[in-house]
Amino acid sequence: MKIEDQIAELHHLFSPCYLCPLNCGAKRNKGEIGLCRAGKSIKIASYTLYKGEEPPLVGNSGSGAIFFSYCNLRCVYCQNYNFSQLGRGKEISIEDLANIMLKLQNKGALNINLVTPTHFIPDIASAIFIARKNGLMLPIVYNTSGYESVKIIKLLKGIVDIYLVDFRYGTDTAGKKYSKVPYYTEITKAAIKEMYNQVGNLLMERGIAKRGIIIRHLLFPNGINELKNIVNFIVNNLSKDVYFSLMSQYVPVYQAKMYPEINRKITKREFFLASRIVRDAGIRNGWIQYK
């Protein structure tokens, strides 16, 4: 399929909207808002040269991050709740977004990092198409919770270069409880398999990511069993060579105080155990970030 046809198909799935696994069918072109609360126009909270991602994505100059408002998950501990849940941000056009991508490239960004793009992906894909015509050379990073439709991921072939996936939970119970979505693990595993088949393991040139997948997991308090399930999935269904990023910086913000078991930071012991689980599973590539 040609890229133009893929983009047209993405727009076809916009209204009624079937862009994410919630498949809520909101007629966004007619002013309805979806379960993710997104409406018709792209809305962004900010864009910047961002150093907070894994080393091959930031190098010395930074990742060209564009933070989109709204999200199809409702994480009770979301650190970005101001724009992901409450919708803070500014509506922009497709042409504005293309110009932002080019501006980030001119500032020295190593990639264009689309943070939570799913619900705006048709317009984003159109913006990438325009930006490419006008000189955008950077890899496109699709920065997601993993709760994605396989159909949409297939349509991103040749548009997205790097999938940066935050694999949040190893059980559906946790997905339902803390992010308010059904079948998190089944849906995310299917999406990740498709991403992996599409772009493969991380490919770097002189230490800078060009193509492939990075899977992250933010360790939760009392979350060792969640991690075990995720690690088992990677080892048994993808490869031990997958670049895996274990993160420890969980802080109980937003509504986390209503859930006593996650209303604290993780302990050193939990992080030590988690690191050992990753190492013992044979996963050698990636990063263990302890703060």
Q: In the complex, which residues of this chain contact ligand SF4 (CB under 6 A)? A: 17-20, 22-24, 26, 34-36, 38, 72, 118-119
Q: How far is the CB of 201 from ligand SF4 (least distance, A)?
A: 29
Q: Which is nearer to ligand SF4, 69 or 113 (CB)?
A: 69
Which residues, including other chains, have CB under 8 Å from residue 279's CB and lie 6 or more apart?
none
Q: How far is the CB of 288 from ligand SF4 (least distance, A)?
A: 33
Q: Which is nearer to ligand SF4, 8 or 49 (CB)?
A: 8
- Residue 171 gets which letter from DSSP? S
- Tokens 């091959």 -> residue: 56
Q: Which residue is nearest to ligand SF4 (CB)?
A: 34
Per the omega criterion (within 30 degrees of 0), is the bond before 16 cis?
Answer: yes
DSSP-derived pairing of the beta strands 90-92 and 63-68: unpaired
Q: Which is nearer to ligand SF4, 132 or 151 (CB)?
A: 151
Asked whether the beta carbons of 221 and 265 are under 8 A apart, the reply is yes
Taking CA atoms, 159 is separated from 68, 137, 170, 175, in Å, by 18, 12, 29, 28
Q: How far is the CB of 176 from ligand SF4 (least distance, A)?
A: 16
User: The tokens of 84 are what?
Assistant: 């992901």
Q: How far is the CB of 121 from ligand SF4 (least distance, A)?
A: 8
Which residues, including other chains, have CB under 8 Å from residue 209's CB and lie 6 or more apart?
54, 56, 57, 110, 111, 139, 141, 162, 202, 203
Q: Which is nearer to ligand SF4, 64 or 122 (CB)?
A: 122
Q: Which is nearer to ligand SF4, 16 or 59 (CB)?
A: 16
Taking phi over 0 as left and psi of -120 to 50 as alpha, with beta for the rest, 116 belongs to left
Q: How far is the CB of 36 from ligand SF4 (least distance, A)?
A: 3
Q: Which is nearer to ligand SF4, 72 or 111 (CB)?
A: 72
Q: How far is the CB of 147 from ligand SF4 (least distance, A)?
A: 9
